A = this chain, B = another copy of it.
Amino acid sequence: MGEFMGASDRISRVRSKIADLGLEAFLFLDMPNIRYLTGFTGSDGALVAGARNNILLVDGRYTTQAGREVQGADIRHYRDKTEGIAQALLDSGWKAIGLESTAVTLQEYLNLKARAEGLELRPLEREMSTLRVIKDETEIKRMKKAAVLSSQALLLALEGIKPGISERDMALELEYRIRQGGADSVSFDVIVASGENSALPHARPGFRKSEAGDFIVLDYGAVCGGYRSDETCTVALGSISDKQRYIYAVVREAHDRALAAVKAGATCRDVDHAARSFIEEKGLGKYFSHGTGHGIGLSVHEEPRLSILSESCLEAGMVITIEPGVYMPGLWGVRIEDMVLVTRDGCDVLTTVPKDLIRLS
């Protein structure tokens, strides 16, 4: 048996959702959801969750692996995915099932509809999106491991940073350190943005070489046992201006205020507001162009979203990022991000790089 635990509780939650929706079964095609519900770590497959039984459908590559990993589901093998799913649905005699409309392409849906004639396939967008928001002990352990490992990799990678190193080379070194440290892989392509590129919140590492006076934004994470971490450090290379120091201090304070606002029962909007209102007070609101954070787990972006519009409440066991930023167009930018576990009274910060300004020479 694999290390997968807790299938039964997760499946029970799915079954009560299915019943609430007046459906007989639900077709999962989103691989993180399938992993969450069955333990299956393959890259392709489908899960049909019914009131009494679950069927995991996999292709020939994964029959052995699924047998080793999966609990709480019968395993069926398909040659053609749509045909396999349609057959499983028709065999069960169901009349109405739900499916994840964001995890299926239009073509897959059309093919399935053509093969499963007479069966109502109800597209559902958000109904299963909160399934994974509360993390259990095993999940938290993995996320903590990923966070610690990537924080350690950052500190090692910083040792090699000096003027004249390209963003690509810095990103490559950091990624190498993360994987060498024992991660399954990186959480997402490492972002390294130096100098004027740090003013772009979604920069990709390019050929620009670092210079004295740069801010360098490094945004990175590790995957351990499928679970992801996410952290951002903005470091200073050589001596920086008073304005840079000031903006760093503003973002740092916004970050700390948002952290202080995190606890079970707080709304996501309140946490966003804690960071945003401080940045706005300083007249920098228009330079903070994204939300304050997001849930994270098997996927790097999950529910809840910490934005100005979010109606959700934080609950103990959620893992979220806190990542305010200020981006001065054409000049440079600062983002400071930690990943935290929401607790009853506050939060535990899982990432470990200190957020005092790091100065490299």
Contacts and interface: CB of A to CB of B under 8 A. Distances in A.
Interface in A276-300: 289
Nearest to A206: B184
A189 B185 contact: yes
Contacts of A189: 185
Interface stretch (A103-111, A131-139, A314-322, A339-347): A103-111
Interface string A78-116: 000000000000000000000101111111111000000
Contacts of A185: 189
A124 to B, nearest CB: 9
A5 interface: no
Contacts of A179: 168, 172
Interface in A102-156: 102-110, 123, 125
Contact of A107 (B102, B168, B202): B102
A354 B174 CA distance: 32
A276 to B, nearest CB: 17
A200 interface: yes
Interface string A176-207: 10011000010001000000000011100000
A81 B292 CA distance: 21
A110 B105 contact: no
Contacts of A201: 61
A164 interface: no
Given A180-B172, A189-B185, A105 B107 contact: no
A308 B283 CA distance: 65
A104 B101 contact: no
Interface of A: 60-61, 99, 101-110, 123, 125, 168, 172, 176, 179-180, 185, 189, 200-202, 289
Given A102-B107, A104-B105, A107-B125, 16 more contacts: A61-B200, A61-B201, A61-B202, A99-B106, A101-B107, A102-B106, A103-B105, A104-B106, A105-B105, A105-B106, A106-B109, A110-B123, A168-B179, A172-B176, A172-B179, A185-B189
